[in-house]
Structure 1
């Protein structure tokens, strides 16, 4: 799935990353990212894949066209993500549950 300029801008707001940071992560210039978010250019499939990947690494989840339009939401807030990362390395016994 490709992403739209408005989705990109919304995702950037949700993950609370400035445009220059997202541009750097995705290998785009800040001007290219700004123009894409405003609907003035299409940076191409490869650039959009890098852009989407960068925003998803920050917790953005892109929603495909589902009859109500495309969208984006946040997977975790930054505090939740830190908690999950901390808990993933906790270890402990693995057990079965018959429930």
Structure 2
């Protein structure tokens, strides 16, 4: 699955997490999260995997793009 910047922001919103909190939980820098969410750069595959796993471990389901685009929901 490919994580979209909008999904990242939405997932953080569902969890009420800051960029800093996500970065700490995933073991990445805050600037990585910030720059990704602002479309400044794409993520390396390993970093993307860390973010996806962090969200999934926290109970967020990342929905693949469909008719309305990618989405998120809480389990």
Report matched runs for 1:35-46 at 5 Å. Answer: 35-46=35-46
Q: TM-score w.r.t. structure 1 length? A: 0.71
TM-superposition CA deviations, 1:18-76 (whole Å, max 9, x none): 2111101212110110010111111211100100111111111100112221111111x
Contact 1:6 1:38 in 2 (8 A): no
Range moving further from structure 2, 6-15 or 21-30: 21-30
Which is greater in Rg?
1
Higher relative contact order (CA 8 A, sep 6+): 2
Partner-residue secondary structure (3-state), 1:7? helix
Unaligned runs of 5+ in 1: 76-99
* C-alpha RMSD of matched pairs (Å): 1.0
1:4 match = 4
Unaligned runs of 5+ in 2: none
1:21 match = 21
